Structure 1
Amino acid sequence: MSISPAQPLQLRPASGWLPPALDESAVDVLYDDLVAASRHRRRRGYSQPMLRVLVNSDQVDPQFGPQATAAHVLPEPRAWVQRLAGALLECMTGVRSTSQISRWVSPLVYERINARAVIAKRRGARPMHRSLVRKVHVCAPDDGVVEASVVIQHDGRVRAMALRLVGVDGRWMITAMELG
């Protein structure tokens, strides 16, 4: 049995890729459009339609929709807010992946955090130190609802964060967040 000699490898140019890759100027245009659209949405009070957490609403099936959870069934909110507030800020600055907090925030809050993370990653700035939660103040205006104000030190700055948590399906879910 004889072995035939190997044929030389022929290199050919790659055919046209579909869709073609975006160049830097096209990426910049898309990014500017995203920023302009988010500013326009905030002014009008518009948010992209997506699944909202509607607890105790006529539009939600009472058996299969999100279920409201009483406060006595949920974990202690102060410790929970303390752990999650720093993680939220780290997600917004691009240090932590936003997918890590997707279970704990509503889709609208997740959209806002993800948009800030994209902008932070594009800038390329990385914080020097981890976030340090200084103070947490919690009040409960209703059963299964908590409003918290948090003072956070992050990368040499002290910032304020306001959160609204609602008990849904046996866990706390952040349905509103403001960062100062």
Structure 2
Amino acid sequence: MSLPAYSAPLRLRPASGWGPPALDEQAVDLLYDEAVALSRDQRRGYSQPTLRVHLRAADLDPMFGPQATQRAALPDPEPWLRQLAAAMLECMTGVRAPSQIARWVSPLVLERVNRRNVIARRRGAHPISPPRVRKVHVCEPDDGVAEASVVVHHHGRVRAMALRMVGVDGRWMITAMELG
């Protein structure tokens, strides 16, 4: 028979009262400038896991490239925006694949949505409820151009989206997106 093993009692010590010294304004400005430069370099250095093709305007044939569409030939933007804004938020939270909205957004917007999708999938977070579009306000500053502000309920918060759409090849295409 073996004897029970006892360990020495645990001694608690008070935490150290040491704290880092405060930074002066010049050091804070230097750190901020370095962070901004680093974020700019990372944005330029971002690469997708697939080959990215850049088409210059000289490479596009004006007869076979994307064609602008007048407002009279386009559908009403408000119901279209309600569905696409919710789909974009689902893509950004990792619920939906960004390839499902690729036809209706520009390559730059798709890249931003895809980046947010990858981050959300890595985190493994799932939204509590699907995003709900509360209100859409559309303004048309020019023929074939629409700008919209969309109020959405997303992740338990009310957020705003600003979208710019252009008529291309008989459909609306989102060319700019900001999520507040």
Q: Same fold (TM over 0.5)?
A: yes
Paired residue for 2:94?
Answer: 94
Counting aligned pairs with the same residue, the percent is 64
**Structure 1 counterpart of 2:176:** 176
Q: How far off is 1:128 after superposition? A: 1.0
Point out the structure with max Rg over C-alpha. 2
Q: Which runs of 5+ in 2 are unaligned?
A: 1-35
Determine the structure 1 residue equivalent to 2:134.
134
* CA distance in structure 1 between the partners assigned to 2:38 and 2:167 by the alignment: 28
In the other structure, the counterpart of 2:164 is: 164
Q: Cα distance 1:107–1:41, how it changes in 2: closer, same or farther (>3 A)?
A: farther
User: Whole-Å Cα distance in 1 between the matches of residues 113 and 174 of structure 2?
Assistant: 12
Q: Secondary structure at the match of 2:61?
A: coil
Match of 1:7 in 2: none
Aligned to 1:19: none
**What SS does structure 1 have at the residue aligned with 2:172?**
strand
1:1-180 paired onto structure 2 within 5 Å:
39-40=39-40, 50-51=53-54, 60-180=60-180
What is the CA-CA distance between 1:39 and the residue it aligns to?
A: 3.1
2 CA distance for matches of 1:111 and 1:101? 11
Q: Could you tell me how far apart the structure 2 residues matched to 1:118 and 1:71 are?
A: 35
Q: 1:85 to 1:65 in 2, by over 3 A?
A: same
C-alpha RMSD of matched pairs (Å): 2.7
- Aligned-pair distance for 1:62? 2.1
- Is this contact kept in 2: 1:66–1:168, CA < 8 A? yes
| Alpha-carbon offset, residue 155 of structure 1 | 2.5
Shift of 1:163: 0.3
- Compared with structure 1, are the counterparts of its residues 47 and 121 closer, same or farther at alpha carbon in structure 2 (3 Å cutoff)? closer
Structure 1 unmatched runs, 5+: 1-35
